[in-house]
Amino acid sequence: MSSAVWPYPAHIAHRGAGRLAPENTLAALRAGAAQGYRMFEFDVKLSGDGSLILMHDALVDRTTSGSGRVAAMTLADLARLDAGSWHSAAYAGEGVPTLGRVAAWLRANGLLANIEIKPCPGREAETGAAVALEAGLLWKGADVPPLLSSFSETALEAARRAAPTLPRALLLHTLPGDWQHRCLALECVALDAHHEALDADVIAAAHASGLKVLSYTVNDTARAARLFDWGLDGLITDSVDLIRPVAR
């Protein structure tokens, strides 16, 4: 995908709907869609038996009723967990979704995906390749492919090799001096940086290199406005009820 062709909306809901619903669940996606969002960022990793599931942490403890490492659990183990009660009683019994289930829901509703490849420790290349291959199949024939992103350059390189036509973005919390080289070496279409690492000059430099610019996780309306004034292409937010998704 050429960076000159950018089919993604300017507003992206973080982990589904950020704080309105339990993160990385179908309930969160539905909550974000109810706020008018058309694109969703979520985290995908491999279970112990090679299934692709939505989960941010390497451990299930924070966001489910269970305890232990995702990499030590089978899909059946994960399916028995309650991934909603930690958030609120209204979401008790919400399950840990597979990437396949999420893709089916998004495509049926005409919604878009930013898949963050979030490998368990030591599984960077394996996860990058698996996510890219599966995404290529799940979104086969889609007008707009999912955007793959990761902090792991190893995972992104594996994704590039496995599914070179899927667009990629490099996630960076701070910007090293060679950030442009890193993005271009991975044939990324975008830089996805923490909002405090961005200013007008960085965004202009990215655009001059043929890169679009995304920013996470922007929850303040004034900061969001400033970033868009600087030319930001996509904003990832938890505040889906405060930062309204408007066409830009």
Nearest to 103 by CA among 162, 148, 158, 56: 148
Structure confidence at residue 247 (pLDDT): 63
Q: The tokens of 110 are what?
A: 């005409």
Which whole-number Å values give the CA distances from 5 to 57, 190, 228, in the listed order?
A: 33, 12, 19
pLDDT band at 248 (very low <50, low <70, confident <90, very high): low
Q: CA-CA distance, 155 to 28, in Å (whole number)?
A: 26
Structure confidence at residue 2 (pLDDT): 44
**pLDDT, tens digit, 9 for 90 and up, residues 58-116:** 999 999 999 999 999 999 999 999 999 999 999 999 999 999 999 999 999 999 999 99
* Residue 172 scores a pLDDT above 80: yes
CB 236 within 8 Å of CB 215: yes
Phi and psi angles of residue 89, each rounded to the nearest 5 degrees, phi first? -60, -30
The DSSP string of 79-119 is HTS-SSTTT-GGGTT----BHHHHHHHHHHTT-EEEEEE-P
**pLDDT, tens digit, 9 for 90 and up, residues 185-213:** 999 999 999 999 999 999 999 999 999 99
Residues known to be catalytic: 14, 56
SS3 180: helix
Percent of the chain beyond pLDDT 90?
96
pLDDT band at 3 (very low <50, low <70, confident <90, very high): very low
Phi and psi angles of residue 114, each rounded to the nearest 5 degrees, phi first? -115, 100
**pLDDT, tens digit, 9 for 90 and up, residues 23-69:** 999 999 999 999 999 999 999 999 999 999 999 999 999 999 999 99
pTM of the predicted model, to two decimals? Answer: 0.97
Q: CA-CA distance, 58 to 182, in Å (whole number)?
A: 26
* Residue 7 scores a pLDDT above 60: yes
Neighbours of 143 (CB within 10 A): 9
Amino acid in position 182? R
pLDDT band at 242 (very low <50, low <70, confident <90, very high): very high
pLDDT band at 5 (very low <50, low <70, confident <90, very high): confident
* Residue 1 scores a pLDDT above 60: no
Span 131-158, mean pLDDT? 98
Which whole-number Å values give the CA distances from 150 to 42, 67, 160, in the listed order?
A: 11, 25, 12
For the 11-237 domain, the top CATH level (class) is alpha beta
* Residue 246 scores a pLDDT above 90: no
Percent of the chain beyond pLDDT 70?
98
CA angle 148, 152, 155 (to 5 degrees): 60
CB 3 within 8 Å of CB 190: yes
